[in-house]
Amino acid sequence: MCTSILYKNGSISYFGRNLDLQYAMGTKVTVAPRNMPLKFRNGEVIENHPAMVGMSITPDEEFPLFFEAFNEYGVGIAQLHFQNMAVYQKEVKEGTIGLASFEMIAYLLSKCRSVAELKEELKHITVLDTAFSEQYPPAPLHWMMADKEQSIVVEPLEDGLSVHDNIVNVMTNCPEYPAQYFNFCNYMGVTGKYPTNRIAPQLDLACYSTAMGSFGLPGGVDSASRFVRAGFTLNNAIAKETDEDTLTQCFHIMQSVAQSNGTNQTEDKLYEITQYTVACNLGTMDFYWTTYNNNQINGLHTRKLDLDANTLYEFEVSEKQAVHFVK
């Protein structure tokens, strides 16, 4: 289970996501520079492409298995769990190319510079039921994709890829996006403003607490509740139009739907937690992250690297809590 958002604050846009899992995957901050060849299972090799940064694992030390990534043109993609709903195809549909689900992020970020280009490219893709390896079978996924201005949700269903304009700029897990959006509309009466007495306007009712306008907002960690809560927090968020304030607010939005150990037991008796939170400035390509055990914000100035290199950059992610003691 995960949550992803596009947070637009004036001229500054951040793409953020929580990765919620019951076990750590050993992810590293990974940069695929422009001249690192990307080799796909269909035989296509992309020798040159926009640089991209995100969290990944690299079981074969060549092709990065990105959980999310962002390219230098300000396009971001996050993959999220889509249990019991994702449908991958067995054969390539005529007029399309076949890609494994784990190849979608790298392929699209190597081709696209905007949501408009993503939409066009997606028309020509069949997502196949292809495993990365015996150890890594195909996971049921759907994707949130964004540029600096807008986002879409892409879901692999029986008839192929379904693409939805995402005006809420939030995505979680099941059910499919149209049902999540419909449920979100049930909460149009919730507000971050000081509440107005609408139940009995003729009565002088006491407002005995602040934030009464948000009464009824879902508080669970299930995906439908997280969608509504993240949508409420994101679309009511206020921050100064500076990079620092926008970054800080982005992490606060993501923390509003983070999962704490012990609050979400899975069928296999393990507990799902927010393993990490990441955010990327889609204008500067600066990449930031926290982990469950280290909630200090860490960052990488991606553009300061040699982005014309031909091998991956990988950076370890610290799980040791960083505490600043006042001297």
Determine the distance from the C-alpha atom of residue 3 to the mean position of all C-alpha atoms in its chain, rounded to a whole number.
Answer: 6
Does 2 participate in catalysis according to the annotation?
yes
Q: What is the rounded CA–CA span in Å between residue 63 and residue 254?
A: 28
Q: What is the rounded CA–CA span in Å between residue 246 and residue 275?
A: 22
> Strands 12-21, 273-281: parallel, antiparallel or unpaired by DSSP?
antiparallel
Determine the distance from the C-alpha atom of residue 174 to the mean position of all C-alpha atoms in its chain, rounded to a whole number.
Answer: 14
Length of the chain: 327
Helix axes 223-236, 243-255, angle to 10 degrees: 150
From the candidates 2, 112, 174, 280, which is the catalytic residue? 2
Q: Which amino acids are annotated catalytic?
A: 2
